[in-house]
Structure 1
């Protein structure tokens, strides 16, 4: 069975940590129908454009990946209960990213930098007021398990005890998980399920002839192959369609050398159905 060697990964309490994360991910999830139920002036396409732009902002300020994931979580949780006009959607985005940066970054960008990045569309006081509104609506509950939290553990499980760490696998899984942020429809899947499915698809893309799932991954993710089927197929659709997307920020980001050019990897058009059969079948 795969073991954690790095003491900073807290091997002795990792199981308890991830058990807690799996329980709390259900409590900090946005609604899956807020576009139909709450929003009148904002739609899924506008949300996708906002997230695509925020990916560029995160790259510009070299923010850690967790900041981006938390930003999207805050946006969706806020939109789940508050009507938002399209003119103020970008304001919500920068306010949520500012909160997430304060939570995650060692040195978060100042409010003036978030005003600047919007071409000064919004004044300092507007951003601060929106920050306060979001914080109060979310009751200052800023800790939220995202797909990125689970990916760290799942990537190590995927690499196995006898395998050298694969940067390609890690980058490709991160690319696939990040693509899911653009899609409003992906909110129906729990973050841990998205992370596990991203690992499944990344392994398949890198080695299409081999079954992506094994007993080690099942043990650490708590997901069987059949549990992943719908989410993997949706991620596969996103991956195959990313070449023609009008929102290129994530694809361009992961086409860089530092991410091993994983966005340029060939994505097979279909996944064999037997790969979703439970282990031992």
Structure 2
């Protein structure tokens, strides 16, 4: 059953996902049904411990046990407005991978300007009144006259292009005021965020695709300069598990994120929703003590907020209750949503690893070294592995993104140096800056096949992600690759 069919059937009855709590007969009064509904609530995450159960045994997350069955069971026919139980829900078997419209054509030149239009001289009898004396201040029909002439502005100086002496005079004034020297070579796209390139080094300009408005080629430098400046302001604490939390630990956090990855796949949410969800969870845990019974509630509330921010059609609150096997009431999810929003002061925009990956992947694809889609999928796989590791909060999102690019290129081409001047130019990181973070990501990739939390590995073992999770990861990275 596809997600869209499930949502369409859900829209016909918004209370179908609450059938477990409100399944009272028509002859039974509401007062008698209230104790029955309360008795059917499941104890959320009550048995969650540091020890993660083996993947062949029952999951330690109550809601994940039934959710994991969705990939194995057969979907029965649904009748009426009644929604199928969680154990019978099967995710869509054929998920269309998003079109790679973010991949530009290599070395695509900016659109050529249209050819000049020949000027046609209008005969004098056509214009009875001079445009300079027009009451409507309209544009002049005589192309030798500027439309500003009608304003008689003394601040505008008009220069004939054929007057070489006047043009040279203006150029000299400009050079003197701007301190431009004829012997000085400027940097490419110099916006204070970019680094100076070495002479003779191969460089690829990834901001030359002006035809695609989604790439924002004109403002890309300013956008990522702002992201780099603001990434430190929206980061969670790096030690909240040790200083703030008493009942939960990093293992519980990893179990929660592993389950959220499955939820995002089930509802086909965009990757940005998952990254923002984890960001909201960590920022909230950085200042609020959370017990283990409400940790999953925080997860679904954060994902609901991120879905409203990123998705075109976000899942409803009843669907998030349903996906937890009705562990929480609708009112509980809404109350937690309000608590998260108030604590974060409604600051929902946060630079995540995914934000920087878009630009860094384009920079890596600028050179003909790696197949584009394979590199992007492998980089996303490594970046999502970092979400589950609590210790990775110590690295800035831009640093994790750059390190994921470094490691992905190394895995695809172990004998070739991963870093180049183009990546250094756009990431502002040298190989030596990435050394520690790359080694931590490399450890995650090597240990991923032995992990008891397989959601990300199984996700990227599919054909639509080019089976990148099955790629062989070399056991060590040559030290010379980290030399500047």
| TM-score interval for Structure 1 and Structure 2 normalised by the shorter chain | over 0.9
Whether 1:70 aligns to 2:283 is no
- Cα deviation for residue 222 of structure 1 reads 0.4
Query: Aligned residue for 2:206?
Result: 3
Instruction: Give the TM-score normalised by structure 2.
Output: 0.57
Question: Does structure 1 retain, via aligned residues, the 8 Å contact 2:206–2:362?
Answer: no
Q: Could you tell me how far apart the structure 2 residues matched to 1:161 and 1:45 are?
A: 40
| CA distance in structure 2 between the aligned counterparts of 1:90 and 1:253, rounded to whole angstroms | 21
Tell me: CA distance 1:164–1:263, structure 2 relative to 1, closer, same or farther (3 Å): closer
Question: Separation in 2 of the partners of 1:162 and 1:39?
Answer: 48
- Cα distance in 2 between the residues matched to 1:90 and 1:2: 44
Partner of residue 128, structure 2: none
Residue 40 of structure 1 is matched in structure 2 by 246
Equivalent pair of 1:92/1:130 in contact (CA under 8 Å): yes
Kindly report structure 1 stretches of 4+ aligned residues shifted beyond 4 Å.
Answer: 161-165
Deviations 1:4-40, CA, capped at 9 Å, x for gaps: 3133201111000000000111000000000000000
Matched residue, 1:215: 421
Alpha-carbon RMSD across the aligned residues, in angstroms, is 1.0
Aligned to 2:354: 148
Q: 1:191 is matched with which residue: 393, 397, 404?
A: 397
Tell me the distance in 2 between the aligned counterparts of 1:162 and 1:33: 41
Q: Could you say which residue in structure 2 is the equivalent of 1:232?
A: 438
Contact 2:234–2:351 (Cα < 8 Å) also in 1: yes
Residue 160 of structure 1 and its aligned partner are, at CA, apart by 1.1
Q: What are the ranges of 5 or more consecutive residues in structure 2 without an aligned counterpart?
A: 1-203
Compared CA separation, residues 9 and 164, structure 1 to 2 (3 A): farther
Distance, in Å, in 2 between the alignment partners of 1:35 and 1:193 is 22
Counterpart of 2:229 in structure 1 is: 23
Q: CA deviation at 1:3?
A: 2.4
Measured against aligned partners, the alpha-carbon deviations of 1:171-214 in whole angstroms (never above 9, x if no partner) come to 00000000000000000000000000000000000000000000
Does the alignment pair 1:58 with 2:261?
Answer: no
> Secondary structure of the equivalent of 2:248?
coil
1:136-175 counterparts in 2 under 5 A? 136-160=342-366, 162=368, 166-175=372-381
Paired residues of 2:258 and 2:454 also in contact (CA < 8 A):
yes
CA distance in 2 between counterparts of 1:130 and 1:165 reads: 43
Kindly state the Cα deviation for residue 2 of structure 1 after the two structures are TM-superposed: 2.4
CA distance in 1, matches of 2:307, 2:463: 25
Structure number with greater CO (CA < 8 Å, separation at least 6) is: 1
Q: Is the contact between residue 3 and residue 161 of structure 1 (CA under 8 Å) also seen in structure 2?
A: no
TM-score, scaled relative to structure 1: 0.97
| Contact kept? 1:25, 1:144, Cα under 8 Å | yes
Q: Counterpart in 1 of 2:335?
A: 129
Aligned residue among 320, 336, 344 for 1:114: 320
Q: Which residue of 2 aligns with 1:248?
A: 454
For the 8 Å contact 2:250–2:390, the answer to whether it is kept is yes
Q: 1:195 to 1:9 in 2, by over 3 A?
A: same
Structure 1 unaligned residues grouped into runs of 5+: none
Deviation digits for residues 39-86 of structure 1 (CA, Å, limit 9, x no counterpart): 000000000000000000000000000000000000000000000000
Count, aligned residues: 278
The 3-state SS of whatever aligns with 1:212 is coil
Higher helix content, 1 or 2: 1
Q: Which residue of 1 aligns with 2:132?
A: none
Instruction: Check conservation: 2:370, 2:412, Cα contact below 8 A.
Output: no
How far apart are the structure 2 equivalents of 1:226 and 1:12?
30
